[in-house]
Amino acid sequence: MRVGDLEEELQDDPPTQEDLYENYVIFDARGGGYVVRYEDKQLGTFEDEDEALRAIGINMKKEDYWPSIYKVNDHGNIDELDTAGNSINGWV
* 43-47, 69-73, 74-78: range with lowest mean pLDDT: 74-78
20: exposed, middle or buried (Cβ count in 10 Å: 0-12, 13-18, 19+): middle
Look at residue 13 in the predicted model and tell me its pLDDT: 87
Total number of domains in the chain: 1
Look at residue 74 in the predicted model and tell me its pLDDT: 85
pLDDT band at 83 (very low <50, low <70, confident <90, very high): very high
Q: Name residues whose C-beta falls within 8 Å of residue 34's C-beta, 6 or more positions apart in sequence.
A: 26, 27, 28, 45, 46, 47, 48, 49, 51, 52
Is 90 part of any domain?
Answer: no
Is 39 part of any domain?
Answer: yes
Q: What is the span of the domain harbouring residue 17?
A: 3-85
| pTM reported for the whole predicted model | 0.83
Q: What is the pLDDT of residues 11-70, one digit of tens each?
A: 568 999 999 999 999 999 988 999 999 998 999 999 999 999 999 999 999 999 999 999
Is 92 part of any domain?
Answer: no
